[in-house]
């Protein structure tokens, strides 16, 4: 492991521990924040270890979402995103360069428009279905977060650099969701808000790195 990776790992660990202690959420919140930061960082570095960290993150994030009535997020992270992470790990393993970093691809404007249209339609359909679940909170925002994140996760597994732009949209939606939950004093809300904020910052780094160096 490079010196830079070790330093970043230690920084993420310290941030997660301190945040967990201050928010009294060291277990679920601390693990979620730590794995989310490292997962996003190693994904931006093109390292397949991000998928292992991602599986751990999916479990804790799904639990926190379930406790706050965000059942769409909970189901997607527990089943859909975990499955894609396993597929992504296997796909990346077959497409690494000499430095053990993934070989990146890009697509054209037509594909970009198709992805955007599918995200809008998918968000509206899933949002409606979620409104039918008793106790579901923020149905359409929950749906948008899931659909956009799903598309981005699939694109990452397929090595398309455009995934980072979708995640930027997803991060903004997640920040809004957890800000609302935080205001309403939801469970694990502080740490989930920090997770969303950390993803936003690291995904901006991912955009810069994948477009500049890949």
56-95 pLDDT, tens digit each: 999 999 998 898 888 888 998 999 999 999 999 999 999 9
- The radius of gyration of the chain from alpha carbons, rounded to an integer in Å, stands at 17
Burial of 142 (0-12, 13-18, 19+ CB in 10 A): buried
Instruction: Tell me the pLDDT tens digit for each residue of 16-64.
Output: 999 889 888 889 989 999 999 999 999 999 999 999 999 999 999 999 8
Q: Are 70 and 142 in contact (CB under 8 A)?
A: yes
Q: Are 146 and 71 in contact (CB under 8 A)?
A: no
At residue 124, φ and ψ (nearest 5 deg) are -65, -45
As a whole number of angstroms, the distance between CA 143 and CA 180 comes to: 16
Kindly tell me if the per-residue pLDDT of 213 is higher than 80: no
As a whole number of angstroms, the distance between CA 214 and CA 212 comes to: 6
Tokens of 68: 């706050």
Tokens of 102: 């993934």
Cα torsion through 116, 139, 79, 95, rounded to 10:
20
- Please give the pLDDT value at position 134: 86
Residue by residue, DSSP assigns 120-168 as HHHHHHHHHHHHTSTT--SHHHHHHHHHHHHHHHHHHHTTBTTHHHHHH
What does DSSP assign to residue 133?
S
As a whole number of angstroms, the distance between CA 149 and CA 119 comes to: 9
Instruction: Tell me the pLDDT tens digit for each residue of 158-208.
Output: 999 999 999 999 999 989 988 988 898 877 788 888 888 988 998 999 999
Q: Name the pTM for this structure.
A: 0.85
As a whole number of angstroms, the distance between CA 132 and CA 176 comes to: 22
């Amino acid at each position: 492991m490079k010196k830079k990776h070790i330093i970043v790992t230690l920084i993420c660990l310290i941030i997660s521990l301190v945040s967990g202690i201050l928010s009294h959420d060291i277990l679920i919140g601390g693990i979620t924040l730590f794995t989310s930061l490292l997962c996003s960082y190693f994904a931006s570095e093109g390292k397949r270890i991000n998928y292992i960290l991602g599986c751990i993150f999916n479990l804790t994030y799904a639990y926190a979402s379930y406790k706050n009535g965000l059942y769409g997020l909970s189901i997607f992270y527990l089943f859909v995103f975990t499955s894609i992470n396993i597929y992504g790990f296997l796909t990346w393993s077959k497409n690494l360069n000499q430095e053990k970093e993934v070989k990146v691809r890009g697509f054209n404007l037509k594909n970009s428009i198709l992805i955007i249209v599918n995200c809008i339609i998918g968000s509206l359909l899933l949002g409606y279905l979620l409104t039918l679940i008793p106790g579901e909170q923020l149905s359409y925002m929950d749906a948008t977060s899931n659909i956009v994140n799903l598309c981005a996760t699939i694109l990452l597994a397929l090595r398309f650099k455009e995934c980072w732009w979708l995640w930027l949209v997803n991060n903004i939606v997640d920040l809004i969701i957890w800000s609302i939950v935080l205001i309403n004093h939801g469970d694990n809300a502080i740490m989930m808000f920090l997770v969303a904020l950390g993803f936003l910052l690291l995904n901006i780094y991912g955009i810069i790195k994948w477009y500049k160096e890949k």
